Amino acid sequence: MKPNSGTLVINIMNGGKAEAYEGVYQCTARNERGAAISNNIVVRPSRSPLWTKEKLEPNHVREGDSLVLHCRPPVGLPPPIIFWMDNAFQRLPQSERVSQGLNGDLYFSNVQPEDTREDYICYARFNHTQTIQQKQPISVKVFSMDSLNDTIAANLSDTDIFGAKPVTERQPVLLTPTGSTSTKVELRGNVLLLECIAAGLPTPVIRWIKEGGELPANRTFFENFKKTLKIIDVSEADSGNYKCIARNALGSVHHVISVTVKAAPYWITAPRNLVLSPGEDGTLICRANGNPKPSISWLANGVPIAIAPEDPSRKVDGDTIIFSHVQERSSAVYQCNASNEYGYLLANAFVNVLAEPPRILTPANKLYQVIADSPALLDCAYFGSPKPEIEWFKGVKGSILRGNEYVFHDNGTLEIPVAQKNNAGTYTCVARNELGKIQNEVQLEIKDPTMIIKQPEYKVIQRYGQVSFECIIKHDSTLLPTVTWLKDNDELPDDERFLVGKDNLTIMNVTDKDDGTYTCIVNTTLDSVSASAVLTVVARPNPPFDLELTGQLERSIDLSWLPGDENNSPVTSFVIEFEDALHEPGVWRYQTEVPGSQTTAQLKLSPYVNYSFRVIAVNRIGRSQPSEPSEQYLTKSASPDENPANVQGIGSEPDNLVITWEPLKGFQSNGPGLQYKVSWRQKDVDDEWTSVIVANVSKYIVSGTPTFVPYEVKVQALNDLGYAPEPSEVIGHSGEDLPMVAPGNVQVHVINSTLAKVHWDPVPLKSVRGHLQGYKVYYWKVQSLSRRSRRHVEKKILTFRGNKTFGMLPGLEPYSSYKLNVRVVNGKGEGPASPDKVFKTPEGVPSSPSFLKITNPTLDSLTLEWGSPTHPNGVLTSYTLKFQPINNTHELGPLVEIRIPANESSLILKNLNYSTRYKFYFNAQTSVGSGSQITEEAVTIMDEVQPLYPRIRNVTTAAAETYANISWEYEGPDHANFYVEYGVAGTMASRQVDIATQGWFIGLMCAVALLILILLIVCFIRRNKGGKYPVKEKEDAHADPEIQPMKEDDGTFGEYSDAEDHKPLKKGSRTPSDRTVKKEDSDDSLVDYGEGVNGQFNEDGSFIGQYSGKKEKEPAEGNESSEAPSPVNAMNSFV
């Protein structure tokens, strides 16, 4: 016995015989509660006995007879495995004619001469002892009818009449089993093997049927060339009559096997352990079935219950023990034995009478985490006797859980089939019986499910490209997901081309082996989700191969090939190219193209070409590499099939004709000695063809031709074998010359002030002396009739194609004098000009006046000034002025119209309403009509006041990237010039700070202060003496050059000039009407101004301007001066 174990070990390795331990063993386990026993264990030693000695006679058999070679192996334990071999340890071949039976014998349905041999050996393999026993070899000799007759004839006289019968066919006869019927008993659950082996010539065929039923499907198998019927896992339903039928061409024989399926006992209800509390009732049930019906017997603690100690609470009723009002002394182990002649069953059942208060085995405060919308199972493993009742509560003071929302399992588990967020919290399990009560709390957390919100998508990518699969997830914030990528349900290849990012997989430099299914798997501790996508790698197809030429003819050949790999993109077509090794070695030319489903093509050939072919596959991605060239094929020579194309006859000089053509390519020559026969004759003249034969050229010049006459031209190919077919004729012309005459009878019809129509007579075609291309009209403006001023003559040209004899001249200026002439144009150039034709355009309406200004507003008058139209387009006859008042609600009053003579340029309107806004409309007229008008608005003043000196207030700025808008309010007289000073932002402030902290500046200021103090002392002394100090004269004599007073005559500010170089401002620019200054208002370079502060620029080159200056003082006593910029803060200025 092993220590602390019930295992019994029998060791015969160190001596002893196995036979000494042969017998039936049973194990009994016993304690104070009872005794349990095991099934009977039979121990038998394995045996592999030797074959008994026997003398084997040779078997002499006539051809066609049946034969059985008996094996009769020794009885072993377990039974041996039988097989037949020869002396070379090669298995003997078996067939429908020769086969081994279930008993190990070798059956011959009919013998043949080739069955003759002396080494039929039966082997028995005993697997348990790992030994093989061999029977003595059996000899078989088969006599054919011919050899048997020869032997008999040699031993008999000629007078004896004898002859062995030839081999005759026989109907089937069963070799095993014998007779017409037999029986077979098999146990339930085993494998049923039925065998039929028949003799006969020809060899019979075996067929199986079940009388009154069908062979069981999925459990029926045929072995040994259908001679063995095998039914696995048989049951009582498989009992019945099975018929085997052996049939050949001469008849049939059958045998019926009556099968009975018996059964060792098997459980229907095995007894189960029973836990009872004192005073409870219970039952032990032991039900078994079998064939025949098993008998049931009971044991208590291994002792038959009939002789076991009495127990008043126990009553045996056949296969059931009934317990009533048990006590603790009723605890015992009961054995149920079900047995019949084929076996027995034994089961132990422990009846345990306990009195235990409830115990909960689930750990306290156990945390359960589940995903929302999935089941939640909360355990409450318990123990107690009597069996406790289980109740569940939610929360500390919650009510008992009931209803369809929950499932309560017998083992105490609470199931929430579809857990939601509101199911989270604390749950209390209470177990109680009559001996006590106990409770336990568990925690439930509901987590958001993990989702793939952006799944990988199907991708098609070209080879060597880059592809990326996205896998964007959403998960519960308390769960840590891990993302794993798989390829074809396996790990990703260990390749640096695969880059796994946070939410994607990128494959660089994609190759064909990357083709497959990629899966993104997201795992958390609670759930797992996945999504897959297929990657298809496409590429240009592989080149075709195995090109083969067949069906060679003079003008055609068949080409076949095998297509290469399509690389996941179907081949749409095959392009076939050829090389002419005779004329253009190394040059491949297009031959034809066939659909992608075709792998053969019949190709047309030309004579005198040494062909090689290659094939290129084409798919959606592109073209494959060319295939290897085919073998060469040289076609025979022939005369040319075609003549040169694109034959033309065009003269390059007035006295020649140049004949050109496209020469034939080498493979078009059809043979050696390619030449061209060039022929020409003048058209419409009864003249013979003139011909020359040339070679290796594509042009021939015919000299001494008349100017521009038509010729008939043709070019014919020929070689050493003959001429090509007769060529077609083309019409050419000899060379052109410049036209000889100008168009005549040029007439001009003026349609309106901007459009005229010109007519001319066509030039005779003979005088054109070339291909008429059209006419050109040259026209130009001589002068304007309104200003009588001449200007530079700019000629304009209009070309009219073809044989047109008129044209329109648009875009003319009104009231102007023009000239024109007309010229004919051919391929050589222009002919002479026609005499100049003069024409005039009538007057038109003028443009708007160049400006309208309104000045000098008073209480009841306004002064209007204007400029004449830029384009009067005629003689001005007058101006028209219209005006009307505008009230505070922008409504217009009555319109007043005034006609003004054309020679006036100003007008004073009187008798207007004071403090009223007027709108003015002003235009000019000619005799044709009124031109476009110009508008302006002005306001009469409210009261007579003294003129104000200029004042600017409320300055605002708005800076953009390359300019700034500056706005202000202005008070003062009209026609003021404005000056805007600006500088680089931050420059002035920084310079002020820097200077103020310099030692030299502090010293200078101290010196100035000291001088002022001395001056004050001197003045004080002199004043006390009664004298006067001419301060005014000193100031006038030493005016500060940096301060420029306002000019009194026009009220404008004085210009600022640099103290060093005194460069004046380059250019002035009037500010726009909205009083803003933009970048485009000055074209000057900021550096050109040369001011004291250097301009500064941003990184992009834009100027940073800062607009500064001291706020102007209020006017005092009607006088005001402009304060100059500080020399410290020197500013750039522009007008």
Residues 309, 311, 317, 319, Cα dihedral to 10°: -60
d(CA 648, CA 659): 6
Asked if 379 and 412 touch (Cβ cutoff 8 Å), the reply is: yes
pLDDT value, residue 950: 66
- Cα–Cα distance for residue pair 1100/1085, rounded to 1 Å: 16
Against a cut of 0.85, is the pTM above it?
no
First to last CA, the chain: 123
The answer for residues whose C-beta is within 8 angstroms of residue 195's C-beta and 6 or more apart is 101, 102, 176, 177, 224, 227, 228, 229
Q: What are the E-state strand segments in 105-239? A: 106-108, 117-126, 131-134, 138-143, 170-176, 181-187, 192-195, 197-201, 205-210, 220-223, 228-231
Please check whether residue 808 is in contact with residue 749, taking contact to mean a CB–CB distance below 8 angstroms: no
Contacts of 569 (CB under 8 A, 6+ apart): 538, 539, 541, 619, 620, 621
- CA 221 to mean position of chain CA atoms: 53
Place of tokens 């505070």: 888
Residues 338, 601: Cα–Cα separation, whole Å: 85
List 174's β-bridge partners, or say none.
Answer: 198
User: d(Cα 9, Cα 837) in Å, to the nearest integer?
Assistant: 141
Instruction: Locate 1111 and state its tokens.
Output: 């706020």
Nearest to 433 by CA among 569, 583, 268, 278: 278
Looking at residue 251, what is its pLDDT? 93
Dihedral angle over CA of 803, 806, 808, 812, nearest 10: 120
Q: Using alpha carbons only, what angle is made at residue 867 by residues 866 and 872, rounded to the nearest 5 degrees? A: 130
What residue has token string 């072919």?
613
Spans of the chain, pLDDT less than 70: 145-166, 396, 788-792, 943-951, 971-977, 979, 984-998, 1024-1135
Identify residue 486 by its one-letter amino acid code: L
- Residues 826 and 771: their CA atoms lie apart, in Å, by 5
Question: 1124 phi and psi, to 5 degrees?
Answer: -75, 155
Radius of gyration over alpha carbons of the chain, in Å?
A: 64
Count CB neighbours of 73 within 10 A.
20
C-alpha separations of 998 from 838, 890, 1001, 1002, 1129 in Å: 82, 61, 5, 6, 16
Give me the pLDDT at residue 93, please.
Answer: 92
Which one-letter amino acid corresponds to residue 168?
T
Residue type, 546: D
Q: What is the DSSP string of 443-501?
A: EEEEEPPPEEEE----EEEETT--EEEE-EEE--TTS--EEEEEETTEEPPS-TTEEE-
Question: Residue 148's pLDDT is what?
Answer: 58
Instruction: Quote the tokens at residue 50.
Output: 């030797």
pLDDT digits (tens, 9 = 90+) for 553-570: 989 999 999 999 999 999
Ramachandran sector of residue 906 (left: φ over 0; alpha: ψ -120 to 50; beta: rest)? beta
